[in-house]
Amino acid sequence: MCFRLLPALLVSLFFSLESSMNLLAKQPDFDDISGWIERQLKYTGNPSLSVAVVKEGEIVFARGFGWADKQKRRKANEHTSYSLASISKPITATGIQLLAQAGKIDVDQPANRYLGKSGIQNPFGEDDEITVRQLLNHTSGLGLHYQFYYHGDEYPVPDRDTTIDHYAIATRQPGTSYYYCNLGYGILDYIITRQSGKSYPEFMQRALFESLGMQNSFAGLPSEKQKNVAVRYDRQGNPLPLYEFDHDGGSAVYASAHDLAQFALLHLEDQFQEVLKPQYIQQMQHPTAEINQNSGYAMGWRVDEGEYRIVSHTGGMPGVSTRLSLVPEQNLAVISLSNCESSLPHQAVKKILSEMLENYPYDHSRLLLPARRVQPPAFQVPDSLAGTWAGTIQTYEGPRKLHLWLGKDGHCRAKLEGQLVTILTDPGFQNGLLTGTISGDLQTSDTSRVKHVLRLRLQLSEDQLVGAVEAVTNMSSQWVQGQKVLPRAYYGLSHYTQLKRASTVGSQQSLLPADNLKGWEIIKQYDFKNHGPIEVKQGILKLGKGSPASGVRIQGEFPRMNYEVELEARRVAGSDFFCGLTFPIHDTYCTLIIGGWGGGVVGLSNIDTMAAVENETTRYLEVEDKRWYKIVLTVSEERIQVWIDNLEFANVKTREHKFDIWWEQEPARPFGLVSWNTGAEFRNIRIKPVHVDLLKDPADQQ
């Protein structure tokens, strides 16, 4: 019986082996793929797509579709040069490795060693902590950066030293996290220039493009090459003017699909090993920065681990969308280039890979549909984040003062010095990182080119928020003569920002529930043992006449500084003080007395050990029974101020005095309301943040 099964087993084994071989040798129908691309171009309205496929050391398919130039009716082909956007990065990284192979660069040495008069700055430690490798894998700590300079505008492209001096400032601890950064590659192209003795375009042309036979590839856009370049089109189908960058190594390379296939052959180690040795190729594909659980970034390449290991890069900017994907274990590469912003190049690569690899997922047409907006849940502000934050945004033209008010109720506001208060929109807080967008104008020569919004990326560390405020072109649609116009992208610029928490109060909030004492407790120590009846009814806190004192205090923590309390109070029985408001000032306390010492004294106890009846705040008020008095108390870094019915009763410089309280008031800490031999009532008790300048020199506040 076993012998009878043997032929069946052999057949099963044969088909199993054939299935495994198919994993490596699945052959697509490129005619079908070409038809699919043509249908997608018609469906999307995209001007063109150029595609190439490498398999087993050969270019097995290369073709262009659509129009490289619609106006001149010039068709795209596999040799048409396209703007690559960020596929420039693995090309620049290859240039760095060519210099490393020649012994002119050590990628683990400080980047500043290879720079000139302007170097990278690191507010978190030594400047030389930032290495060339960290620029390559986006862990340098540098933030968002792109600048497009359109021909015909009046803004010249700055030299690289200027850009480095203005923006090469770490906004997070170097080496700790991945954050995509064009500027890092702008610095790398400058390092190539300095270490090779040739301009970046010239070095790349001679050392890489000519060596690989990439005849339609170049950095920048020489005038003699423009006839073969695909025109970049905006989302409305209009040709964009030519534009340049201050980060060429991250964005400025042009190449054809056929040329990128040659580049892929180098990185698949199929050919050109005399140009760059295999160990340098392998280093480029070894991730040294984690993007997420299954993805990392190496040297110019993103590496995704799954059923197939995919080494890839994409590109996207005005008029450009590109993708280059390598599957090294399958000796396979797919390239797709477009001259407009579109999901089609990414979809085309996935389509071809799904035709050539078993079990490779393809999302068919869904990526071509507009994404649906998902309503985020209401922003919950944790205690660690709630409060008033003040500090500066550093710009190359001087600091810009910034205030944030983050309320526990989810109301979040911001204010740049000299500008209006604005809402923090789309706030988020994850893994200690505060994000959101505010309106405001940094008013630098760079950001003044066009309108912008400010995006926050601030890491919480103890009582500081440190990171970046990113000035980004405002891309909101505009209506011009009845037509919808999308603005051009001009810049995304990071500015080192540091804020300190001035107060735990971030928004106005009521301190008293309507019908109970939740969050408060009745004081029962010392002179409060024989307190009167205490209750909250219809939003009014009633303190019955005590013998001698009645009072309540807040349970738990209370803001120590930079807050304003407002309330209404009235005397309903007795003739002594009806409002004894104890409050914190930094690490000490003070008490506001209203109606004391026979019923008329108003003042702060104690200032420089002197009571309310004997210091500079002593005032008199003819208190009327059962009349509501509106009381406002402000406690800030500069002053302690008191108003009663909009008349100022106290104004004391905080730093010039010592504050304390009588021992009788100690049970009312941290914040309490007390009456003495008097019945009192309180209502509308609220607290809110105050504007505070933590940056002012103390000497200026005197």
Residue range 82-107: mean pLDDT, rounded? 98
Distance CA 518, CA 501 (A): 27
Residues 6 or more apart whose Cβ sits within 8 Å of residue 502:
387, 388, 389, 390, 561, 562, 637, 692, 694
400, 526: one domain: no
Residue at 675 is within a domain: yes
| Per-residue confidence (pLDDT) for residue 486, from 0 to 100 | 78
Task: List the structure tokens of 466.
Answer: 């440190």
Residue range 212-218: mean pLDDT, rounded? 97
404, 551: one domain: no
Residues 6 or more apart whose Cβ sits within 8 Å of residue 266:
94, 212, 272, 275, 276, 281
Buried b / exposed e along 450-483 (16+ C-beta atoms within 10 A):
eebbbbbbbbbeeeebbbbbbbbbeeeeeeeeee
Cα 158 to Cα 148, 163, 166, 186, 492: the distances in Å are 11, 7, 10, 12, 15
| Per-residue confidence (pLDDT) for residue 483, from 0 to 100 | 74
356, 451: one domain: no
Task: Give the length of the chain.
Answer: 702
102, 204: one domain: yes
Band of the pLDDT at 680, cuts 50, 70, 90?
very high
Residues 6 or more apart whose Cβ sits within 8 Å of residue 399:
392, 393, 695
Residue at 18 is within a domain: no
342, 461: one domain: no
Backbone φ and ψ for 216, nearest 5 degrees, come out as -115, 35
For 191-213, the three-class secondary structure string (H helix, E strand, C coil) is HHHHHHCCCHHHHHHHHHHHHHC
Nearest-CA neighbor of 591 among 653, 642, 626? 642
42-80, pLDDT tens digit by residue? Answer: 999 999 999 999 999 999 999 999 999 999 999 999 999
DSSP code, position 279: H
Residue 693 has pLDDT above 90, yes or no: no
Residues 6 or more apart whose Cβ sits within 8 Å of residue 31:
none
Residue 63 β-bridge partners: 51
Residue at 51 is within a domain: yes
399, 322: one domain: no
| Per-residue confidence (pLDDT) for residue 20, from 0 to 100 | 43
Residue 290 has pLDDT above 50, yes or no: yes
The answer to which of 124-133, 215-224, 434-443 has the lowest mean pLDDT is 215-224
From 365, 395, 413, give the residue that closes a domain. 365
| Per-residue confidence (pLDDT) for residue 534, from 0 to 100 | 97
451, 574: one domain: no
From 476, 503, 530, give the residue that closes a domain. 503
| Per-residue confidence (pLDDT) for residue 364, from 0 to 100 | 54
Band of the pLDDT at 307, cuts 50, 70, 90?
very high
Residue 368 has pLDDT above 80, yes or no: no
292, 209: one domain: yes
645-670, pLDDT tens digit by residue? Answer: 999 999 999 999 999 999 999 999 99
Residue at 9 is within a domain: no
Residue 88 has pLDDT above 80, yes or no: yes
| Per-residue confidence (pLDDT) for residue 504, from 0 to 100 | 92
| Residue 437: CATH number of its domain | 2.40.128.120
Could you tell me the residue range of the domain that residue 404 belongs to?
387-503
Residue 22 has pLDDT above 50, yes or no: no
| Residue 558: CATH number of its domain | 2.60.120.560
| Residue 196: CATH number of its domain | 3.40.710.10
Percent of the chain with pLDDT over 70: 93
Distance CA 238, CA 49 (A): 17
Q: Quote the number of domains for the chain.
A: 3
From 503, 525, 546, give the residue that closes a domain. 503
Residue 405 has pLDDT above 70, yes or no: yes
142, 200: one domain: yes
CB atoms within 10 A of CB 156: 8
Residue at 279 is within a domain: yes
CB atoms within 10 A of CB 235: 11
Residue 222 has pLDDT above 90, yes or no: no
Residue 691 has pLDDT above 90, yes or no: no
DSSP code, position 128: G
Residue at 3 is within a domain: no
Distance CA 70, CA 597 (A): 90
357, 398: one domain: no
Band of the pLDDT at 268, cuts 50, 70, 90?
very high
598-621, pLDDT tens digit by residue? Answer: 889 999 999 999 999 999 999 999
**DSSP notation for 281-295:** HHHHTS--EEEETTE
The answer to which of 9-13, 264-268, 376-380, 582-586 has the lowest mean pLDDT is 9-13
**DSSP notation for 11-22:** HHHHHHHHHHHH
522, 437: one domain: no
Residue at 595 is within a domain: yes
Residue at 459 is within a domain: yes
| Per-residue confidence (pLDDT) for residue 5, from 0 to 100 | 38
482, 334: one domain: no
| Per-residue confidence (pLDDT) for residue 436, from 0 to 100 | 97
Task: List the structure tokens of 300.
Answer: 């110019």
Cα-Cα-Cα-Cα dihedral sign, residues 398, 468, 410, 689: negative
Angle at 91 between CA 212 and CA 277, to 5 degrees: 60
Residue 630 β-bridge partners: 568
Residue range 267-271: mean pLDDT, rounded? 90
159-187, pLDDT tens digit by residue? Answer: 999 999 999 999 999 999 999 999 999 99
Nearest-CA neighbor of 155 among 222, 245, 234? 245
| Per-residue confidence (pLDDT) for residue 372, from 0 to 100 | 64
Q: Are 476 and 513 in contact (CB under 8 A)?
A: no
Residue 373 has pLDDT above 80, yes or no: no
Element (H, E) at 322: strand 320-327
The answer to which of 18-32, 89-103, 200-214, 305-319 has the lowest mean pLDDT is 18-32
| Per-residue confidence (pLDDT) for residue 11, from 0 to 100 | 42
| Per-residue confidence (pLDDT) for residue 150, from 0 to 100 | 96
DSSP code, position 116: -
